Amino acid sequence: MIDKKFEIAKRSFKSRLIVGTGKYKSFKQCAKAIKASGADIVTVAVRRVNISDKNKARLMDYLDPKKITYLPNTAGCFTAEDAIRTLRLAREIGGWRLVKLEVLGDKKNLFPEMIETLRSTELLTKEGFKVMVYCSDDPLMAKRLENAGAVAIMPLAAPIGSGLGIQNKVNIKIIRSQTKLPLIIDAGIGQASDASIAMEMGCDGILVNTAIAKAKDPIQMAEAMKLAVISGRKSFLSGRIKANLFGSASTSNKGII
């Protein structure tokens, strides 16, 4: 099969790997890891970014927003009002309309608060934002988000930063079967094999932050994630063999001596 372009809100991207910019030891390390990952989209927590103090290091000094797509997100928001205010600020600062919405339910588990998430999606869409939505792996809520105007569905694989990998493959497969929107796994990826598995399931992309930033060697892990996403996508497009409980000889029995 010939692969289709990775498109979000009618914009094409070369890499299917999206990388977060938090938790690194320094902006320099962050920039090196992102370069190794090959990602052309990076998420930026608007509430935590330095935009006023020119004496302190700024992300933009290391990652040129003219060369890589910044995806403002609402990390740290627990209500629709906070999330909407944050993204309006992002729009005023840099004109961003393609955004990542994240409304959390509690500070311990960091699961998405889906009622507030759905409400935020509806309101932001009406204001002209192109909303990529962090959400639960509930197929019903995923469909509601699509109907509300989301441009990408981003279910968690496991709790943010947990590194547990995909915990509910069934729900992810159901979401995949019922949506035409880009399906991007967001949160819970721990190692390269997790990313590859998600891509083999037909997901369109992966968002990774902690698994890269907190690895013993973030730059090497970033490259591993890049290769895993490419490999998993190629595996999906190739079409796996049918699983069988019994063995099947590699060579034919015809003409056997």
Active site residues: 100
The C-alpha atoms of residue 16 and residue 36 are separated, in whole angstroms, by: 14
**Which residues touch 34 (CB under 8 Å, ≥6 apart)?**
19, 21, 42, 63, 68, 222
Extract the tokens encoding 175: 């979401």
| Cα–Cα nearest to 114, from 91, 71, 89, 143 | 143
Using DSSP bridges, classify how beta strands 17-20 and 41-45 pair: parallel, antiparallel or unpaired.
parallel
Q: Are 46 and 90 in contact (CB under 8 A)?
A: yes
Half-sphere exposure of 9 (CA within 13 A, CB side): 18
Helix (H) or strand (E) holding 199: helix 192-200
Angle (CA) 116 166 172, round 5°: 60
Length of the chain: 257
